[in-house]
Amino acid sequence: MTLFIGNYLQAPVPLALKSYLVAYPAIFTYLWFGLNWLDLGVAVSLALMWLVMAQALWLLSRKIDQAQEGRK
């Protein structure tokens, strides 16, 4: 939702991350080779998604501040 609002307000996030890009390789590694990297894969996926969300919220706050200053 944050990424949509950022794009709608013309404050796009330059880097977006899908969780499957990080978690699926860990799942396939487990299924094919028996190596359990699922905990690490999910943890990395969550951490990267939180960073992207924080960046999006920061960009949104800057855009909203600029819009409010423009109204003065």
Q: How do residues 5-60 score in pLDDT, each as one tens digit?
A: 777 777 777 666 666 677 788 888 888 988 888 888 888 888 888 888 888 888 88
pTM of the complete model: 0.67
What tokens appear for 58 in the block? 């920061």
**2 pLDDT band (50/70/90 cuts)?**
low
The letter for the amino acid at 43 is A
**CB under 8 Å to 2, separation ≥6 — which residues?**
53, 56, 57, 60
The dihedral sign for the CA sequence 51, 52, 57, 62? positive
